[in-house]
């Protein structure tokens, strides 16, 4: 009972700190010209749904996240009865760094007839096929150990990137996306944002260039109008876990998310990368891996603390601690991933580090799919839109703000 009382008090204390310091919203922001005033609490149609995928260069990073999303997508299709339902239909914003950034681009880029370019299942199959082709069918070869996504997308512009994305740019994605890199020219993180791209050509970049920037060791790219130059290093260096950046974007972007005033108005699904316990890495590579994963875990702990008592309902984190790529074929790799997803999930506990969850990772993904469908159904019942996404009228010329499309399932 003492622990319960301590947790309640800790939650109350941190809620005060969170509202004032962690995700502050000035009163002037909500009443600025052109920004709608937020209605009373409870009037919103539902929570803003955020997908966040960690960065990394190992094969396990991209494949584990893709497999998790493929499993979630399968559940979404089963629950809605729509065989064409995709991950992009159920999230309002997606953020991804490194391997996660490439996955976000694949899942949220605009494809045929305005549908997502890739389903999660198709993205997973592409990654498996390309990794098999480049490694001679064996994971753990030299090419895959140095990083699946870096090997596939590390050169600019890259034949595969061009084949996948063509000349599509950030502003043409289906939903708002955030993909970070580290800009050597300014010595600071740089976040490629659809919201910025819609506002100005100076912040609109080709998606294939953005993917290269978030994964490459070093690459230089320019915006579509040539005015903005970025000397990029992979996003994992700056924002290995982009969850906090995504939450901050939602809470301060009042044009697209006018009703989100606190973490209670947000649902986050965050997919982590493998742990630093990869003994095949030596020296500087191991140190860098520990640093990147340590930074990602710090963000996880901070975000979990910010959600406080809502962390069990509004914040989901899938973290495959201890999973390494090892060697083997794509089949054995997928068997290993399925085994990891069948294990109990690990969650951050308020001021107490990590704990073993009651649910497995697969069960957590299944539960998350159910919550996403409930949010869609709730939006059908409300006349107040949760999201006002800027839609392109004509690419690279003009834009308009409209209510986010809701579920296709009444």
Q: Indicate the helix (H) or strand (E) that contains 402.
A: strand 398-403
Q: Round to whole Å and give the CA distance between 372 and 76.
A: 8
Q: Round to whole Å and give the CA distance between 367 and 221.
A: 40
Contact at 8 Å (CB) between 180 and 242? yes
Q: Contacts by 280-289 with C-beta closer than 8 Å and gap 24+?
A: 280/140, 280/145, 280/324, 280/325, 280/326
Out of 15, 52, 60, 97, the active site residue is 97
Instruction: Report the candidate in 323, 304, 322 with the shortest Cα–Cα distance to residue 314.
Output: 304
Residue 260: is the preceding peptide bond cis (ω within 30°)? Answer: no
Instruction: Report the candidate in 364, 239, 344 with the shortest Cα–Cα distance to residue 298.
Output: 239
Q: How many Cα atoms occupy the beta-carbon half-sphere of 335 within 13 Å?
A: 8
Q: Round to whole Å and give the CA distance between 375 and 382.
A: 11
Q: Round to whole Å and give the CA distance between 359 and 271.
A: 16
Dig out the tokens for 45 from the structure.
């149609």
Q: Is 306 helix (H, G, I), strand (E, B) or coil?
A: helix
Query: What are the phi and psi torsion angles at 186 (to 5°)?
Result: -105, -10
97 is catalytic: yes
Q: Where in the sequence numbering do the catalytic residues fall?
A: 97
């Amino acid at each position: 009972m003492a622990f319960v009382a301590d947790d309640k008090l800790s939650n109350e204390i941190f809620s005060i700190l969170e509202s004032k310091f962690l995700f502050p919203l000035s009163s002037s922001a909500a009443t600025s010209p052109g920004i709608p005033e937020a209605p009373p609490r409870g009037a919103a149609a539902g929570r803003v749904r955020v997908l966040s995928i960690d960065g990394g260069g190992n094969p396990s990073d991209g494949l584990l996240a893709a497999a998790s999303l493929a499993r979630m997508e399968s559940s979404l299709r089963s629950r809605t009865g729509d065989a064409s339902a995709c991950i992009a239909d159920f999230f309002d914003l997606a953020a991804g760094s490194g391997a996660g950034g490439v996955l976000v681009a694949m899942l949220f880029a605009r494809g045929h007839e305005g549908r997502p370019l890739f389903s999660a299942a198709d993205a997973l199959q592409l990654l498996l096929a390309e990794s098999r082709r480049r490694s001679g069918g064996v994971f753990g070869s030299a090419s895959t150990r140095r990083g699946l996504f870096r090997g596939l997308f590390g050169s600019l512009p890259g034949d595969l990137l061009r084949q996948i994305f063509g000349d599509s740019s950030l502003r043409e994605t289906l939903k708002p996306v955030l993909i970070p890199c580290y800009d050597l020219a300014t010595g600071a993180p740089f976040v490629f944002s659809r919201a910025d791209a819609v506002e100005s050509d100076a912040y609109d970049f080709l998606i294939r260039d953005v993917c290269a920037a978030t994964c490459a060791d070093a690459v230089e790219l320019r915006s579509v109008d040539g005015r903005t130059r970025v000397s990029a290093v992979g996003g994992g260096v700056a924002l290995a876990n982009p969850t906090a950046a995504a939450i901050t974007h939602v809470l301060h972007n009042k044009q697209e998310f006018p009703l989100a005033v606190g973490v209670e108005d947000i649902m986050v699904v965050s997919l982590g990368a493998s742990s630093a316990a990869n003994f095949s890495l030596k020296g500087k590579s191991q140190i860098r891996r520990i640093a990147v994963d340590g930074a990602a875990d710090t963000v996880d702990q901070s975000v979990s603390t910010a959600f406080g008592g809502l962390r069990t309902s509004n914040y989901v984190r899938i973290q495959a601690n201890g999973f390494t790529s090892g060697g083997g074929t794509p089949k054995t790799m997928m068997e290993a991933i399925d085994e990891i997803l069948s294990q109990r999930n690990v969650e951050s506990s308020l001021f107490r580090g990590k704990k073993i969850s009651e649910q497995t990772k697969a069960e957590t993904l299944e539960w998350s799919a159910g919550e996403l469908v409930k949010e869609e159904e709730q939006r059908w019942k409300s006349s107040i839109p949760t999201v006002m996404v800027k839609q392109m009228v004509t690419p690279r010329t003009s834009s308009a703000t409209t209510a986010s499309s809701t579920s296709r399932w009444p």
